[in-house]
Amino acid sequence: MVVELSAVKSVSPWQTHSVRIVSVKAEIPGVMTYRLKFVDQAVGNSFTVEPGQFNMLYLPGYGESAISVSGYDPENNELLHTVRAAGNVTRALSRLVVGDELGLRGPFGQGWPMETARDGHLVLIAGGLGFAPICSAIETAVQQSSRYRRISILAGARSPDQLLYGQQYNLWKAAGAELRLTVDRATSQWSGNVGVVPLLVNRIEISDPATTTVMMCGPEMMMWYTAKAATERNIPAENIWLSMERNMNCAIGHCGHCQFGPAFICKDGPVLRYDKIASYLKIKGL
């Protein structure tokens, strides 16, 4: 199981390190979680990462893709990455098996403000594959649950078979977290909520909005309406954090590929504060 995520430094942002696939777990159709271990143990020993950061995974002949760290096991120097086979690189990755090697550089970007959220109510919200970066925050929070007054996890997917990390739900609940799930389309076996993720925000108790922190990742439309629902519950905009996605290239703020308003998602994000980006979220195609 995933252990603690802690503070970090990388060697050189351009240097790609070899990692070996230790295990592959089929999560939902087309989405796998890869457990990766550094081939050079010394590199693994010096590698640390914060929840919410991402790595660039490199497959020679195909290219690089930005992939969030969904978990990190510092004892074994193993990283978890949950990947949807979407295009060139990620489809090639889906053909690899245990024992195969690929390249990794990172970690990059600003992660979730776990310390800022301390002592308050932490609300972690995921939509679809946005569960991957949220998962690293959940694992960190439930392992240090005494640091938070309350932990609420809200997640949604199109249908029950699209919900990620089902095997971890009982562990999270056993650690004291509240878990609420919703789907757009129910099946006959589904007894949970039906509807969009923002509706879940209205169902949880928020006793002290000023000390409540919201962290979310999912489709931008979902995040827009969820942030709106949170502010309507009097949670200050500066307590709301979103993980954003844009096409990446250099991952270190040099190429401009990931520009979003004045921010570079790779360097200033991917986790950004809602009040700083709300006006740009409204601009279609930005």
- Give the one residue of 14, 25, 40, 87 binding ligand FAD; rule: CB under 6 A: 87
Place of tokens 């777990």: 25
From the list ligand FES, ligand FAD, none, partner contacted by residue 219 (C-beta under 5 to 8 A by kind)? none
**Residue number of the CB atom closest to ligand FAD:** 87
How is residue 147 written in tokens?
């640091």
β-strand partners of 180: 154
Largest separation between any pair of C-alpha atoms in the chain: 53
Residue 263 lies near ligand FAD (rule: CB under 6 A): no
Rg (the chain; Cα; Å) = 18
Contact predicate 45/105, CB 8 Å: no
Judged by CB under 6 A, the stretch of 7-15, 22-30, 78-86, 168-176 that binds ligand FAD is 78-86
- Other beta carbons less than 10 A from residue 195's beta carbon: 13
Nearer to ligand FAD (CB atom), residue 47 or residue 260: 260
CB closer to ligand FAD out of 44 and 107: 107
Smallest separation, CB 247 to ligand FES (Å): 8
User: CA angle, corner 150, sides to 147 and 155, nearest 5?
Assistant: 115
Residues 207-236, interacting with ligand FAD (CB under 6 A) = none
Nearest to 200 by CA among 89, 125, 264: 125
Binding residues for ligand FES (CB under 6 A): 248-251, 253-258, 264, 266
Q: Concatenate the DSSP letters of all residues of 173-211 into one string.
A: HHTT-EEEEEESS--TT--SEES-THHHHTTS--S-GGG
DSSP state for residue 270 in the 8-state scheme: B
Q: How many residues bind ligand FAD (CB under 6 A)?
A: 22
Among ligand FAD, ligand FES, none, the one that 264 touches (CB under a kind-dependent 5 to 8 A) is ligand FES
How does DSSP assign 105-116, residue by residue? Answer: EEEESB---TTT
- Residues 88-147, interacting with ligand FAD (CB under 6 A): 88-91, 129, 132
Q: What does 245 interact with, of ligand FAD, ligand FES, none (CB < 5 to 8 A by kind)?
A: ligand FAD
Q: Which does 193 bind (CB under 5 to 8 A by kind): ligand FES, ligand FAD, none?
A: none
> Binding to ligand FAD by residue 54, rule CB under 6 A?
yes
Scanning 16-81, the segments in alpha helix (DSSP H) are 41-46
What token pair was written down for 46? 């010096």
Interface positions with ligand FAD (CB under 6 A)? 54, 63, 65-68, 82-84, 86-91, 129, 132, 245-248, 270
